[in-house]
Amino acid sequence: MGLQKSQMCLKSGANGTAVAEFILLGLVETPGLWPAVFVLFLFAYLVTVGGNLSILAAILVEPKLHTPMYFFLGNLSVLDMGCITVTVPSMLGRLLSHKRTVPYAACLTQLFFFHLLAGVDCFLLTAMAYDRFLAICRPLTYSTRMSQTVQRILVAVSWACAFSNALTHTVAISTLNFCGPNVINHFYCDLPQLFQLSCSSTQLNELLLFGLGVLMAGAPMILIVTSYIHVAAAVLRIRSAEGRKKAFSTCGSHLTVVGIFYGTGIFSYMRLGSVEASDKDKGIGILNTIISPMLNPLIYSLRNPDVQGALRRVLMGKRAFA
């Protein structure tokens, strides 16, 4: 009865009737499971923020990590904390308050920041692949081609492109009419789910999502693959087995993160219009916004003695101050 009442929550706008708020069903609809979900995702949030803050602290305290690769990794850690903060705290708040409604403006704001941070992620992962290409294939000119100025320009351009993409999608979806129903079978607001609820044509929006998706994800993916084809060719020319292992070890973590990020992203956005896939979308959303940011610190610290040593010093320092 409460759900039906909320579905009728409409406001009168200049262009007719519009939805005033959306209802996010969340991960589970059974109230008895909400406390367990709350504890689980609060733990995931704290682990993610703690892990990424530890990576940032390690990069700051360890002189060996003051390199372009770790400069980009530090930025990636900030993005990971941002991505999970955009979605999880609001979900936890709804579980505590037992309110599943989200105002229209708050839904679009969440959508904007989610696409902003995910877009920066795309370009930052590309910059990291370019860094590995220069380090392995162009070692003699690496220091000049990847100077501090170049690093800052790459990060600034990443933010500018991602901002333009996120703003375009947010403005485009604000032109759609939502006249009911307003129930989203997800735990955060995103484009595919909102397309399903619109009572006006979303054909232009879907074309925009596909076209910008090619620019924002397709082009970076091509650059990453091209970079690693050159890297693999260069590494295979190294005669020493130890040398090949060392060269590949610097790329393995990045490739793992790229695989998780792009794999889940492509699966999520290339299946527009599939209502039956809503529950699967929740799983993909968990991978995108929670599992991936939580795993990244572990992936980059595993089998990396410099990061492990720096993390130990950070933890010892904390104990010393305690």
**pLDDT tens, position by position, 88-99:** 999 999 999 888
- Average pLDDT over the chain, rounded to an integer: 84
Task: Using DSSP bridges, classify how beta strands 183-184 and 21-24 pair: parallel, antiparallel or unpaired.
Answer: parallel
Question: What is the C-alpha to C-alpha distance for residues 310 and 322, in angstroms, rounded to an integer?
Answer: 18
Distance of CA 189 to the CA centre of its chain: 14
Angstrom distance (rounded) from CA 202 to CA 231 = 42
Q: Which fold has domain 23-316?
A: Rhopdopsin 7-helix transmembrane proteins (1.20.1070)
Count CB-CB contacts under 10 A for residue 273.
10
Q: Which pLDDT score is estimated for 301?
A: 76
Sequence letter at residue 91? M
Instruction: State how far the alpha carbon of 46 is from the alpha carbons of 39, 84, 92, 200, 234, in Å.
Output: 11, 10, 12, 40, 40
Q: Beta partners for 102? A: 22
Angle at 142 between CA 139 and CA 143, to 5 degrees: 130
Amino acid at 267: F
Question: How many Å is the maximal CA-CA distance in the chain?
Answer: 72
Tell me how many degrees the CA angle 103-109-114 measures, rounded to the nearest 5.
125
pLDDT digits (tens, 9 = 90+) for 61-93: 888 889 998 999 999 999 999 999 999 999 999
pLDDT value at residue 309: 81
* Res 11 pLDDT > 70: no
Distance (Å, whole) CA 248 – CA 132:
10
Q: What percent of the chain has pLDDT over 90?
A: 41
Higher pLDDT: 124 or 283? It is 124
